[in-house]
Amino acid sequence: MTPDNKISRIQELVYEIRIGEVMKRNVITISPQTNMSELRKILREKRISGAPVMDGDEMVGIISIEDFIKWLADREHDCPISEKMSKDVQTLYADEPLTQAVNKFERYGFGRFVVIDHQSRRLLGIITKGDIVEGLLKKLEVDHYKEEEEVYRRRVEHFFEDILADKVVLLFQYDVAGHDFKRAGEGASRLKASLKRLGLDPQVVRRVAIATYEAEMNMVIYTDGGKIRVRVEPHGIFVKVADSGPGIPDIQKVLQPGYSTAPEWVRNLGFGAGMGLNNILKCASKMDLKSVVGKGTQVYIRIDTKDGAMSETN
Partner 1 sequence: MKLTELIQKLNLSVRSAKMHLDREVAGGYASDLLSDVLANSKEGDLWITLQIHQNIVGVASMKDLAGIILVNNREPEPETLEKAEIEKLPIMVTEMPTFELVGRLYSLGIVGTK
Task: Give the pairing of strands 225-233 and 286-292.
Answer: unpaired
CA 269 to chain centre: 23
- The reply to whether 282 sits near partner 1 by the rule CB under 8 A is yes
Judge residue 208's burial from the number of C-beta atoms within 10 Å of its C-beta, 0-12 exposed, 13-18 middle, 19 or more buried: buried
Q: Which of 68, 71, 105, 271 binds partner 1 (CB under 8 A)?
A: 271
Other CB atoms within a 10 A radius of the CB of residue 256 amount to 12
- The reply to whether 213 sits near partner 1 by the rule CB under 8 A is yes
Q: Which of 151, 269, 292, 293 binds partner 1 (CB under 8 A)?
A: 269
Q: 3-class DSSP state for residue 186?
A: helix
3-state secondary structure 27-38: CCCECCCCEHHH
Indicate the angle between helix axes 202-222 and 276-283, nearest 10 degrees.
160
Closest to 220 in 3D by CA, of 247, 191, 243: 243
- The reply to whether 138 sits near partner 1 by the rule CB under 8 A is yes
Q: Which of residues 16-75 bind partner 1 (CB under 8 A)?
A: 25-26
Residue among 138 and 158 whose Cβ is closer to partner 1? 138
Q: Which of residues 176-205 bind partner 1 (CB under 8 A)?
A: 181-182, 184-186, 188-189, 192, 202
**How many residues interact with partner 1 (rule CB under 8 A)?**
33
DSSP secondary-structure letter at 139? H
CB of 68 to partner 1, least distance (A): 28
Write out the E strands in the chain: 50-55, 58-64, 91-93, 112-116, 123-128, 170-177, 225-233, 236-243, 286-292, 296-304
Q: Which of 69, 79, 102, 137 binds partner 1 (CB under 8 A)?
A: 137
- The reply to whether 285 sits near partner 1 by the rule CB under 8 A is no
Q: Which span sits near partner 1 by CB under 8 A: 78-86, 166-174, 273-281, 292-300?
A: 273-281
Q: Which of 275, 285, 298, 308 binds partner 1 (CB under 8 A)?
A: 275
What does the binding site for partner 1 look like in residue numbers (CB under 8 A)? 25-26, 137-138, 141-142, 145, 181-182, 184-186, 188-189, 192, 202, 206, 209-210, 213-214, 217, 269-271, 273, 275-276, 278-279, 282, 311, 313
